[in-house]
Structure 1
Amino acid sequence: MEEENPTLHVALIVGVTGMVGVALAEALKKPTALGGPWKIYGVARRALPVWFPPSFLDEFIMLDTLNEENTSKMLSPISSVITHLFWVAISVNQSEEINISRNSSMLSNVLYALTSSPNSQLRHVTLQTGTKQYMGPILDIAFSNHLVPHDAPFREDYPRLPFPNFYYALEDILASYPKPITYSIHRSSLIIGASSRSYFNMLLSLSVYALICKHGNYPFRYAGNKYSWEHFWDMSDARVLAEQQIWASVTDKAKNQAFNCTNGDVFTWKMLWKVLCDVFDVEFVPFDEQEEFDFADFLKDKGEVWDEIVKTNGLYNTKIEEITCFNEIQFILKNLNIQHVCSMYKSREFGFHGYADTLASIAPWVERLRQMKILP
């Protein structure tokens, strides 16, 4: 792989306590990291949680990037050293128009703080987005019933859909910056990783569900429909996303390009459900489309059960509503009657060959969450 050889790369990870932020910090600190050695600054809205290894960062900055004045105050002083911005932050709102406004403001505020000084060293920005690029604003009820997603497998050269999408807005912001600043876009599928600070955390949500079922002796029933149970999906391991972003940030031919980033394999939810049953020692319940099951409704009053599990096992103190996305999982698995699969051909063609075995990675990620005392 073609690689630059500067004296020192300095990364700023915005969203460092999320699944991919943690994986990025860990990967950049490895002696074998492309472009290394790296110095790493991390930004998050809240203080570092106790499970975050302090050795992953050289400096942490607590900052709400929606605040333009504070963002400039906190980041302008380091604009003379930051060479690479890794954007893995997200603001999730009910309306896509609000998503566009808030996420655009966050990115614009940070970019302005890092580039307004004549001594700015910023060279490259990696932007993490996702498959909503190909499906539209699926969680905005104003549009969700009218969307016609692209055909799978999703390809990077598909045209934009005629609906508002904050991913499009963020891409346009990056493309508006003149050279020598370059960028790369990284479109993830469902992300699997370890954090209590990620909004869309499918694995942690389903883990909490499995533990509640085990605790109360409830059947561990599937949250979706027959189509999603039987058809192909893909996932993005946070470590693969981190590898691809680091690769693109120091590889000339990857500059100003968009890449899908998945594990490179596919699974069915039936297969994954069996893995979850094995990991959490709950009985596998075959899907029965004759039985109506409202997954989100079942879990809406289980906060006290989770509180008891946390207290009994001496876990990191979390509230069920802060670490799960039950409504979103149910909507996706019951309403997306498509094969949710991305093409990884472009990524391979450009020289990135990272991959992961999705089903085999479930147990190690759960074990990581256990080590972090997020799960028992």
Structure 2
Amino acid sequence: MPTAIVTGATGITGSAIVSHLIKDSSYTKIYTLSRSNAGFKHPKVQHVHLDLQGDTDHMAKELAGISAEHIFFCAYLASNDPNETDRINASLLSNFLEALVKIGAEKQLKRFILTCGFKHYGVHLGRVKQPLMEDDPLLQGNAGGISWPPIFYYSQQQVLAEAARKGNWEWVCTLPEDVLGFAKGNFMNEATAIGLYCAVCKATPGSELPFPGNKDNYFAFNTWTSANIHAQFCLWAASATSAGNQIFNVTNGDSESFQNIWPKLADRFGCKIPDEMFSDKGFKDYESSTIPMKNAKHPLHLHAESLGLSNDPLVTDTPTLRLQVDPEKWAKRSDVNRVWAKLRDQYGLDQKAWEKATWDFLTFVLGRDWSCIGSMSKARKLGWTGYADTWDELVDTFEQLEKEGILPPLEDLKRDY
């Protein structure tokens, strides 16, 4: 009967893992590690205060008496500086692993599951080869003659693999993409920003729902990852016979596009899709943005020669975000904020929802012009059969956000506006 440790239990992926561990009768004890209590009230769950930014000795004291067969590591710290992000997150993980050794907890450890993401492939840097596969070359050092910015997942994976080799236990790294889910008090969620955008558009005269991004993105295909399907995968990977010491894409299993999702959003929120949405008639100029990205080359550059694209604009142009309605600019407009304030007060919504919503992430997701499709073949071949419908998962997240008072009640919104 295994026990489990979950770090980052207050986050979207971590909280989903805890929820699924609670449901799994084979787990007898679950330790949630974070600076604040995730609030799980269940006899199997014990919260332990842990500051992952502390040094090894301090963490060892906080972890005294704790051990588990399976560890699910979902914590990370963001920074605008990729070098600092790399340093901080490699240190978080290495110090935590060293603390486990200090208290002897690694002797019980069988498998360590590290949550990473599609930044592993450089999807945040520009156009990538499709589909993304786990054995694709890494964007590190001077790969392809380009000096790539550090990707902290690589450092974490190296730290983890070395610790596992020394401790004689196994590791698994998961790569989810654009996670859909809910965690109380956590607004770092693509669905939150999309839902707020739709709700305010509904309450704006005319109730039009323009797609903020560009036409290429509207017709591109992408994959998303439900926090629930990721949690189920993590529990599978913790014990699947052949999964040890491997990296896996984890997506819902379907392919989606905004050309399919956006009309569904309009219908759900009672909005109208503008006619000639991508014409020059368009939307107010001050809402649009063309944002050249800091990196000089697309990750597709690594595959240019083999694909016969060495001098093709798909490889040689500057990675750029293009938006006809920039979510960050839009969210700061006085008229938009007046509509939000009216909704917030009318329905008693969370006071922090608007300012904490990840408008910058939505700007990136909608402004890129490249697809992000990850192959699930590797996991499927080892017996993984999980599947989730992306639209259903998005709706489920909206409903949770409504229950928590982050989004207005849908039926009331559609009735009142």
Asked if the contact 1:76/1:113 (under 8 Å) is kept, the reply is: no
Whether 2:170 is the aligned partner of 1:192: answer no
**RMSD (CA atoms):** 2.3
Whether 2:253 is the aligned partner of 1:264: answer yes
Asked if the contact 2:128/2:372 (under 8 Å) is kept, the reply is: no
More displaced stretch, 89-98 vs 325-334: 325-334
SS at match of 1:213: helix
SS at match of 2:401: helix
Whether 2:207 is the aligned partner of 1:214: answer no
SS at match of 2:160: helix
How far apart, CA to CA, are the structure 2 residues paired with 1:67 and 1:282?
Answer: 48
AA aligned opposite 1:93: S
Measured at CA, do residues 304 and 53 of structure 1 come closer, stay the same or move farther in structure 2, by a change above 3 Å? farther
Question: Over residues 45-98 of structure 1, what are the superposed CA-to-partner deviations in whole Å (9 max), with x where a residue is unaligned?
Answer: 3343xxx542386112343311225422212331xx322211111211111111
1:313 to 344, 347, 372: 347
Whether 2:214 is the aligned partner of 1:225: answer yes
AA aligned opposite 2:359: F
How far apart, CA to CA, are the structure 2 residues paired with 1:197 and 1:13?
Answer: 18
AA aligned opposite 1:330: T
Whether 2:102 is the aligned partner of 1:116: answer yes
Asked if the contact 2:68/2:105 (under 8 Å) is kept, the reply is: no
Provide the TM-score with structure 2 as the length reference. 0.78
Identity of aligned residues (%): 27
Asked if the contact 1:25/1:56 (under 8 Å) is kept, the reply is: no
Count of residue pairs the alignment pairs up: 350
Whether 2:136 is the aligned partner of 1:158: answer yes
2:329 to 297, 306, 311: 297
How far apart, CA to CA, are the structure 2 residues paired with 1:212 and 1:55?
Answer: 37
Whether 2:240 is the aligned partner of 1:251: answer yes
Whether 2:382 is the aligned partner of 1:350: answer yes
How far apart, CA to CA, are the structure 2 residues paired with 1:312 and 1:298?
Answer: 21
* Matched residue, 2:310: none
How much does 1:234 deviate? 0.8
1:333 to 366, 381, 398: 366
Whether 2:349 is the aligned partner of 1:359: answer no
SS at match of 1:183: strand
Asked if the contact 1:265/1:358 (under 8 Å) is kept, the reply is: yes
Question: Over residues 91-129 of structure 1, what are the superposed CA-to-partner deviations in whole Å (9 max), with x where a residue is unaligned?
Answer: 111111111111112212221222222354222111111
How much does 1:186 deviate? 0.4
Asked if the contact 2:223/2:374 (under 8 Å) is kept, the reply is: yes
Asked if the contact 1:12/1:40 (under 8 Å) is kept, the reply is: yes
How far apart, CA to CA, are the structure 1 residues paired with 2:64 and 2:187?
Answer: 28
How far apart, CA to CA, are the structure 2 residues paired with 1:118 and 1:95?
Answer: 35
Whether 2:13 is the aligned partner of 1:20: answer yes
AA aligned opposite 2:61: K
How far apart, CA to CA, are the structure 2 residues paired with 1:43 and 1:306?
Answer: 35
Question: Over residues 222-248 of structure 1, what are the superposed CA-to-partner deviations in whole Å (9 max), with x where a residue is unaligned?
Answer: 121111101101100111100111111
Whether 2:79 is the aligned partner of 1:93: answer yes
Asked if the contact 1:104/1:169 (under 8 Å) is kept, the reply is: yes
How far apart, CA to CA, are the structure 1 residues paired with 2:58 and 2:43?
Answer: 24
SS at match of 1:184: strand
Measured at CA, do residues 199 and 318 of structure 1 come closer, stay the same or move farther in structure 2, by a change above 3 Å? closer
1:3-14 equivalence runs, <5 A: 8-14=1-7
Provide the TM-score with structure 1 as the length reference. 0.86
* Matched residue, 1:4: none
How far apart, CA to CA, are the structure 1 residues paired with 2:31 and 2:82?
Answer: 30
How much does 1:153 deviate? 0.5
Asked if the contact 2:10/2:37 (under 8 Å) is kept, the reply is: no
SS at match of 2:65: helix
Asked if the contact 1:253/1:350 (under 8 Å) is kept, the reply is: yes
Asked if the contact 2:128/2:370 (under 8 Å) is kept, the reply is: no
How far apart, CA to CA, are the structure 1 residues paired with 2:184 and 2:29?
Answer: 25
Asked if the contact 1:306/1:319 (under 8 Å) is kept, the reply is: no
AA aligned opposite 1:214: K
* Matched residue, 2:158: 172
Decide which structure has the larger Cα Rg and report it. 2
How far apart, CA to CA, are the structure 2 residues paired with 1:279 and 1:60?
Answer: 38
How far apart, CA to CA, are the structure 1 residues paired with 2:53 and 2:24?
Answer: 34
Structure 1 unmatched ranges of 5 or more: 1-7, 139-143
SS at match of 1:12: strand
Question: Over residues 19-51 of structure 1, what are the superposed CA-to-partner deviations in whole Å (9 max), with x where a residue is unaligned?
Answer: 11121111111146xxx1341111233343xxx
How much does 1:16 deviate? 0.9
* Matched residue, 1:46: 36
How far apart, CA to CA, are the structure 1 residues paired with 2:35 and 2:342?
Answer: 28
How much does 1:167 deviate? 0.7
Measured at CA, do residues 354 and 67 of structure 1 come closer, stay the same or move farther in structure 2, by a change above 3 Å? same
AA aligned opposite 1:72: A
Structure 2 unmatched ranges of 5 or more: 141-147, 283-323, 409-417
Measured at CA, do residues 183 and 305 of structure 1 come closer, stay the same or move farther in structure 2, by a change above 3 Å? farther
